């Protein structure tokens, strides 16, 4: 059974190949959304660190655990 569109010989193989391409495209979209989410989180953490400065106290850092 072929999984590529150019190798599909029957309607069933064509359907399976199209289904595979749809799944792959959805996985790429999910990966892109996860990468964007990671970039936004990383940027916000970096901005917060810049705003706090290099000499933050332990009380300041423990107050914010889990809020970023």
Does position 53 have pLDDT exceeding 90, yes or no?
A: no
Cβ atoms within 10 Å of 8's Cβ, excluding its own? 17
Show the tokens assigned to 34. 């996860």
What pLDDT score was predicted for residue 1? 42
Q: Model confidence over 27-44: pLDDT tens digits?
A: 999 999 999 999 999 999
What proportion of the chain, given as a percentage, has pLDDT over 90?
Answer: 37
Average pLDDT over every residue of 6-20: 86
Find, among 52, 44, 47, 49, the residue nearest to 68 by Cα.
44
Whole-angstrom distance, CA of residue 55 vs CA of residue 61: 11
């Amino acid at each position: 059974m072929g999984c590529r569109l150019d190798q599909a010989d029957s309607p069933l193989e064509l359907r399976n190949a199209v289904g595979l391409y749809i799944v792959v495209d959805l996985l790429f979209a999910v990966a892109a959304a996860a990468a964007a989410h990671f970039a936004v989180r990383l940027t916000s953490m970096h901005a917060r660190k810049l705003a706090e400065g290099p000499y933050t106290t332990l009380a300041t850092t423990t107050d914010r655990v889990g809020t970023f």
